[in-house]
Amino acid sequence: MQCYHCEEFQLNNDCSQPQSIVNCTVNIQDACQKEVIVRSDGTFFRKACASFSTCLLTSAGYQAFCTPTKVGSICISCCNTPLCNGPRAARKQNSTSSSAISFPHLWLYLALAVPVLYSWTALM
């Protein structure tokens, strides 16, 4: 798995260039994460490899803070295909597929994943 990786790049440079591509840790980091932070001095990005289940839990925790045009907004998205945290692809007409999980599907995933994570951590 490969993802884009950067710490707080401004909107006009969202670190989606080839030099920002990193190899994720095999069998641990199976997803890409993107944070979009809106501050008074601009919009900033953080991108990295992540564990898909951990990213989804973090994303769910930040849903209340995600208002993309509002200062103070923090939106976190998770996806599990190579380089999916890069630039937004041009939308095709009648296209409904996405590699990112939408919010309604997030709750279904969490309902299924959290008990598994809990039982796995209980064994540790």
Q: Which residues pair with 3 in a beta bridge?
A: 22
User: How many Å is the maximal CA-CA distance in the chain?
Assistant: 48
How many other C-beta atoms are found inside a 10 Å radius of the C-beta of residue 12?
A: 7
Average pLDDT for the chain: 78
- Provide CATH code, domain 2-85+99-123: 2.10.60.10
C-alpha closest to that of 99 among 18, 30, 21: 30
Average pLDDT in the 21-49 region? 94
Q: Which of 52-56, 67-71, 81-85, 120-124 has the lowest mean pLDDT?
A: 120-124
Q: Parse the chain into domains and list their residue ranges.
A: 2-85+99-123
Say whether pTM exceeds 0.75. Answer: no
> 92-116, pLDDT tens digit by residue?
544 343 445 444 444 444 444 444 4
